[in-house]
Structure 1
């Protein structure tokens, strides 16, 4: 009548045990003794439990313990109309590695019913709810890295001085694990060596991007935090850029918001709390993979956001139309919902916040223009209460109209916008899919150039198209866009980067038509079931026998708009629309400053310096496992030299050399067997949902090729107090340069590395100084002068030779300390 859940570390040297009561039909009873067992202790415990649960000969009943399932982690606990289920991760795939921390994609889960059959109370609708929860979502998880926060946030905590945490460290809950003489035999107890202690920080996740927070809510205060695994929904992909053999990892992480989440036509605009539909935070991390750790390595991160227009608006899908009309559901003259949304951004990202609005501005019948006419006055209203240094920048640009011009280059214009961005960019169109993904790619391409420049990999912050580097980055971004489009719109991208470059092959048009039809089918027939699955997984709707079933609700509007069911207890100011303390720390984000509110979210852990929980080497290299080089993730991931560099002799190996399309390595890969191609091709998280032919798709606001045929290719632009694009004549529009006020921001390296002139010279203070550690002379082919080794190197070599001859040197104090801690952690 009990479930025993045994968890261990990767080396299986430390174990914890959870006891789950199965006699309660509708309650969840979990017991965690918080004790850490070694391998021998947990074997003895399970053996005693097995013997104690065996029945006598001739009696019916249990025959002892039996293994139910093996899993990689707990997603959470959920209850519908009967008892509780436990959701376990049964299949995973490694997707990325950041600073030695592995990030996995969840590929399969298992849901196990907890109550025993003898106490089970059945309900006829239970099976239907179970089918909803089994809908596949591409989730990502990790054991040791906080995916809900950005890299900047995670590393900022470690840079704070120890004095700030000294009071918390003295009252830390977890002290160094010491065993008494009665518990174990310590062969080093007479050495008198001190125990080396380090302090670490454990912060709370950012629950806006955590998707299983509600599933863990019942147990997070009962069980040890090692049992809790917070997962995100979105995308994770990583590729390796080889620069003359030097590995540089480019990682793309997309975090989809769990607030106001749903499918395309069923979730538009914002809710009463300022959460917008299809809100995704995309972070690109570039780091030199030659050095693994965060403390000694070189890391760079850039974040941008996409999300629906923060207004009360929706589209009527009661009629079968490819483009349902846009309607404003509620008047908001004081921009209250927009204020709530941008207050969240100021707290998380600081200032300035830059809006790139890509919706259409000139239409024969007003459709998308309705949103621009409402968003622009809302930003004007909010800015009049902010200091000028922290104004919200607003850029309105009709990208779809500009694309139709034969004389204008869309990507050049996006590059101009990206060059002037000095903060976090928030991009939106109507769906935040095709146009938004291309715009984010161009901004990310510009940021990638500055990241490589700051790492000392290139001499100018410029990257050209048709280079191995940009092709690798473009493929990564298209996988990112396909995945996000499948989650929200039901299909892959309709318009890609090649479409806007106008170099897409003629076969791409037929694929676009199929994606459009698939998207339309998905929105019409399957979006409602997907929305129900999301509401059930996020526990927005919790089944009760006294309430209507989920599939019986005419709308889920009241589930996401909480203010409609109760009067607000606190009315926010329309003028002081930001949270207390946010404005005083700008441009630094409030979430990253050292204040009492943020200090309460941290827990200080006191652990042994050699403890496996902080041993990056053991976690990454896994010395306790027998592995093959061909199966390692760093070799199997997408590689610029293997997949993009031409295979002909005499080719420049630089990934920054412009190549012709027929020179790429992709054509060579096409001749390989399907097994080799599967090994070499990553396809990251885009393979999570079923193909578009099985799961349907949309086409409306993103498919702009059928509209405005009588309009020319120029774009009307207006000048506003918020630095809109300036209105100019027809001849000046194609050559217009954008002008923004450059302000100091928290990511200082972007503005400091951007001089006002067109010539980019790397400042000596910003580039890491890489000096050779050895000097080699220009020897002839007949005689070689060996380099001189320093004294330390000779000592190491002599010690190695003497050890091989049986003459070991005396162990010093540090050696004894290290060996003692290794033996205690491994075997005691």
Structure 2
């Protein structure tokens, strides 16, 4: 039964000269969006639609955004069923449309660039939503925030950290359109009906990517001055069984102080501390927020403790000591050193170290009628350098250990029985879902699937998995250096970090036309000519003589000089974000 605070789902969109009119099926009210005056209002349905035929069916209002030529309406047009969570259907966004308020507005070239950015961001896999269930809040937060009588709309009661279209929804500036505002979450959702020991239950994973300091892998690292970190993800494991629900939450996020690893065309640019910053203040602000949301925190740091990552590890350890907060514990584990030569069984050393805290943190457990059995008292906050590959491996192992405790408490597992030994079919599902979670979170941040997922999927490291990791690493290299600048711009545009100014390229310069230096054109041109001439001289000599050898040596030297120049001035060849200067990129 539809509740009075649910968001409308199936709707008809009418497009007239003056208005967009949205008609929810079976309802007696309309949403009218002025195309000329830009005024949005909800009004009773009377005779407005007589003799009108709907332009199209839609399944949600995503927001509105102002670009250079005019405003644009964002609507969800297609959806894919994911599953049922907490008695509510969860959907995945499968199609959208961007409709101009003024169809014949003068199109400026920069506007098409903004539209491409917007589409690239909305094309990112995957966005999820529900018309009834708040996907942005964990079960425990929903229980703690429960209001007995009057509930606000779905957008209004959501966790603003995880609503990706909050900015574009709030641009309507209409106070009574809650049932038309469809919040979407980026991340990963998997809902599975499974069976162990003859008992059937639902096991789900929900990963929520934060909009705070959102960005791409090398352009968005560490923390800003407010303590908000890059690639912050909250992952919740949910079990629903026999009128009971349990939840176990973990988080991941970049190392929480100001550091950078900007692309330079080198395969692995060196991470560096951002000079002139108050690292302790940022770290303190970050952990204060974590303590507020999750209780006690164990910060698991999986980066290398020597080499280029060593300075970051030492700084993190020092800052946690200086915090001097008994509710925050630091646990360093050099993943690559400990597990070298594919000795991944050594990860159990880390899990054993964390066993006491995991048992004391517990998990959220409540009955459907609201009766609370237990709450989760703390959280494991895991990071590696990217918070992707190593992080996901450790999170899946902590989740497995928690799931064993949950299923024993619910009576699904016998006392002493481990979940990995209880059901071969469920073990396959468990590994596959956690590997899919790794791939999706990695795709959203780095542009490729995760590394090391062969271990997550099979329980062991394989040579085929290592080869696939090599391929993904090369793709990451290309994307991070030559494609992520525009992708970062699209994220900032969609989230409202950058506001389009109508005077761009008229009164003031547009940021989309950042001039390139002479090296950007000269070195690649010389390289291409030199490569072509070298192979031409080597392949088609009328006769091989000293003159041909000198030509080959000359063009070979030109190849070396131009390639060295490109690497030396690598930062000039990277595709940088254009909406924010790189020197101050997300620094505050």
536 and 203 in structure 1: CA distance in 2 versus 1, 3 angstrom threshold: closer
Alpha-carbon distance in 1 for matches of 2:381, 2:250: 6
Matched, 1:464 2:452: no
2:89 aligned residue:
102
Matched, 1:359 2:300: no
Specify which of 111, 118, 143 is matched with residue 131 of structure 2.
143
Q: CA deviation at 1:373?
A: 1.0
2:440 aligned residue:
483
C-alpha contact (below 8 Å) 1:309/1:428 kept by paired residues: yes
Matched, 1:316 2:255: no
Pick the structure with more helix per residue: 2
Kindly report which structure 2 residues correspond to 1:160-199, keeping only aligned pairs within 5 A, or say none: none
Kindly report which structure 2 residues correspond to 1:193-272, keeping only aligned pairs within 5 A, or say none: 204-272=157-225
Deviations 1:420-455 (A, max 9, x none): 223200000101111000000001111111121222
234 and 519 in structure 1: CA distance in 2 versus 1, 3 angstrom threshold: same
Q: CA deviation at 1:337?
A: 0.3
Alpha-carbon distance in 1 for matches of 2:284, 2:225: 11
1:21 aligned residue:
34
Kindly report which structure 2 residues correspond to 1:361-440, keeping only aligned pairs within 5 A, or say none: 361-362=305-306, 366-383=307-324, 386=325, 388=326, 391-404=327-340, 409-420=345-356, 421=358, 422=361, 423-440=378-395
2:80 aligned residue:
93
Q: CA deviation at 1:464?
A: 2.9
Alpha-carbon distance in 2 for matches of 1:75, 1:557: 33
Kindly report which structure 2 residues correspond to 1:704-723, keeping only aligned pairs within 5 A, or say none: none
Deviations 1:105-140 (A, max 9, x none): 1011101111253xx344332112111111112211
Alpha-carbon distance in 2 for matches of 1:202, 1:517: 40
Alpha-carbon distance in 2 for matches of 1:202, 1:129: 26
C-alpha contact (below 8 Å) 2:134/2:154 kept by paired residues: no
The 3-state SS of whatever aligns with 2:93 is strand
Kindly report which structure 2 residues correspond to 1:280-299, keeping only aligned pairs within 5 A, or say none: 280-288=233-241, 297-299=243-245
The 3-state SS of whatever aligns with 1:70 is strand
Matched, 1:134 2:119: yes
Matched, 1:454 2:409: yes
Specify which of 143, 165, 169 is matched with residue 155 of structure 1.
143
406 and 558 in structure 1: CA distance in 2 versus 1, 3 angstrom threshold: closer
407 and 95 in structure 1: CA distance in 2 versus 1, 3 angstrom threshold: closer
Alpha-carbon distance in 1 for matches of 2:100, 2:348: 56
C-alpha contact (below 8 Å) 1:338/1:378 kept by paired residues: yes
Specify which of 510, 515, 523 is matched with residue 549 of structure 1.
510
The 3-state SS of whatever aligns with 1:251 is strand
Deviations 1:146-171 (A, max 9, x none): 1111111112344x7x5xx6xxx6xx
Alpha-carbon distance in 2 for matches of 1:279, 1:396: 19
What is the TM-score of this pair, normalised by structure 1?
0.55
Alpha-carbon distance in 2 for matches of 1:493, 1:334: 29
Q: CA deviation at 1:355?
A: 0.4
Q: CA deviation at 1:75?
A: 0.7
- Segments of 5+ residues of structure 1 without an aligned counterpart are 51-64, 174-199, 292-296, 563-828
82 and 238 in structure 1: CA distance in 2 versus 1, 3 angstrom threshold: same
139 and 238 in structure 1: CA distance in 2 versus 1, 3 angstrom threshold: same
Alpha-carbon distance in 2 for matches of 1:274, 1:502: 35
2:452 aligned residue:
495
1:70 aligned residue:
57
2:275 aligned residue:
330
C-alpha contact (below 8 Å) 1:410/1:500 kept by paired residues: no
Structure having the higher Rg = 1
2:252 aligned residue:
306
* Aligned alpha-carbon RMSD (Å): 2.5
Q: CA deviation at 1:244?
A: 4.9
220 and 499 in structure 1: CA distance in 2 versus 1, 3 angstrom threshold: same
Alpha-carbon distance in 2 for matches of 1:75, 1:202: 11
Q: CA deviation at 1:556?
A: 4.8
Deviations 1:352-395 (A, max 9, x none): 11100111113xxx311111111111111112xx4x4xx20110
Q: CA deviation at 1:96?
A: 2.6
419 and 548 in structure 1: CA distance in 2 versus 1, 3 angstrom threshold: farther
Tell me which of the two structures has the higher relative contact order, counting C-alpha pairs closer than 8 angstroms and 6 or more residues apart.
Answer: 1
321 and 403 in structure 1: CA distance in 2 versus 1, 3 angstrom threshold: same
Alpha-carbon distance in 1 for matches of 2:154, 2:439: 36
2:49 aligned residue:
46
2:23 aligned residue:
7
Kindly report which structure 2 residues correspond to 1:661-810, keeping only aligned pairs within 5 A, or say none: none
Alpha-carbon distance in 1 for matches of 2:93, 2:583: 30
436 and 5 in structure 1: CA distance in 2 versus 1, 3 angstrom threshold: same
- Segments of 5+ residues of structure 2 without an aligned counterpart are 1-16, 362-377, 515-577
What is the TM-score of this pair, normalised by structure 2?
0.76
548 and 255 in structure 1: CA distance in 2 versus 1, 3 angstrom threshold: farther
